[in-house]
């Protein structure tokens, strides 16, 4: 008897509850999931002696939709927090200044020096891979890389360059 009355109630009210859930959530698959949960809860309520009333089912739907809204908001909050944390830990103020200094130094290098440094440090190519691209042997890449690093190191030690990046903040 309980099963038959529930089946009749389900058949009569499922389309309405699904439509309301879809209108509130804007996602049909999510609305189907929420509607299924509403009727699962309603079935348990009915088995425990509760009556099958549309206002009770509607309130259950409202509660589950509110839970979904809270879940979605928490997800947004967590993602925003993680993004802020990542931005703060990935680039502290000193790192930004250092990055600007290295960028300015890299721009003052010759095209060949920039290319070998970018290939090996930015693109993470091996000496053999870089040699293949540049059309030379790995020993020549090793020498070019050594010389490019020395020139970059020399530029980074230059007090004029460091003063130029500090002056941008002033």
CA angle 91, 97, 98 (to 5 degrees): 85
Q: What is the mean pLDDT of residues 84-92?
A: 57
For the chain, what percentages of helix, strand and coil (3-state, to nearest 5) are there?
A: 85, 0, 15
The domain limits of the chain are: 2-89, 91-169
The pLDDT tens digits for 69-82 are 888 887 777 777 76
Residue entry with tokens 């990935």: 90
Instruction: Report the C-alpha gap between 113 and 146 in whole angstroms.
Output: 10
- Give residues with Cβ within 8 angstroms of 127, minimum separation 6: 120, 138, 141, 142, 145
Confidence band, pLDDT 50/70/90 cuts, at residue 161: low
User: Which has the higher per-residue pLDDT, 33 or 69?
Assistant: 33
Q: Is the whole model's pTM more than 0.75, yes or no? A: no
The whole-angstrom separation of Cα 66 and Cα 34 is: 11
Structure tokens at 125: 């190519």
Q: Where are the alpha helices (DSSP H) in 26-169?
A: 28-47, 54-90, 93-108, 111-117, 127-134, 138-157, 159-169
For residues 53 and 9, the answer to whether their CB atoms sit within 8 Å is no
CATH number for the domain whose boundaries are 2-89:
1.10.1740.10
18, 35 in Cβ contact below 8 A? yes
Average pLDDT on 24-31 reads 94
Q: How far apart are the first and last CA of the chain?
A: 82
Answer whether CATH 2.60.410.10 is correct for domain 91-169.
Answer: no
89: pLDDT strictly greater than 60: no
Q: Is the pLDDT of residue 22 over 90?
A: yes
Neighbouring residues of 12: CB distance < 8 A, sequence distance ≥ 6: none
């Amino acid at each position: 008897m309980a099963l038959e009355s529930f089946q009749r109630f389900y058949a009569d009210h499922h389309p309405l509850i699904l439509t309301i859930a879809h209108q509130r959530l804007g996602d049909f698959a999510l609305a189907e999931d929420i509607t299924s949960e509403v009727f699962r809860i309603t079935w348990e309520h009915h088995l425990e002696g509760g009556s099958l009333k549309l206002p009770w089912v509607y309130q259950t739907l409202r509660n589950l939709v509110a839970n979904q809204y809270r879940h979605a908001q928490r997800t947004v909050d967590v993602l925003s927090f993680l993004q802020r944390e990542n931005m703060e830990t990935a680039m502290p103020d000193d790192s930004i200044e250092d990055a600007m200094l290295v960028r300015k130094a890299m721009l003052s290098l010759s095209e060949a020096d920039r290319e070998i440094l970018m290939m090996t440090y930015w693109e993470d190519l091996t000496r053999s891979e870089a040699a293949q691209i540049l059309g030379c042997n790995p020993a020549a890449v090793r020498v070019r890389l050594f010389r490019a690093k020395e020139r970059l190191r020399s530029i980074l030690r230059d007090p004029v360059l460091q003063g130029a990046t500090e002056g941008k903040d002033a």
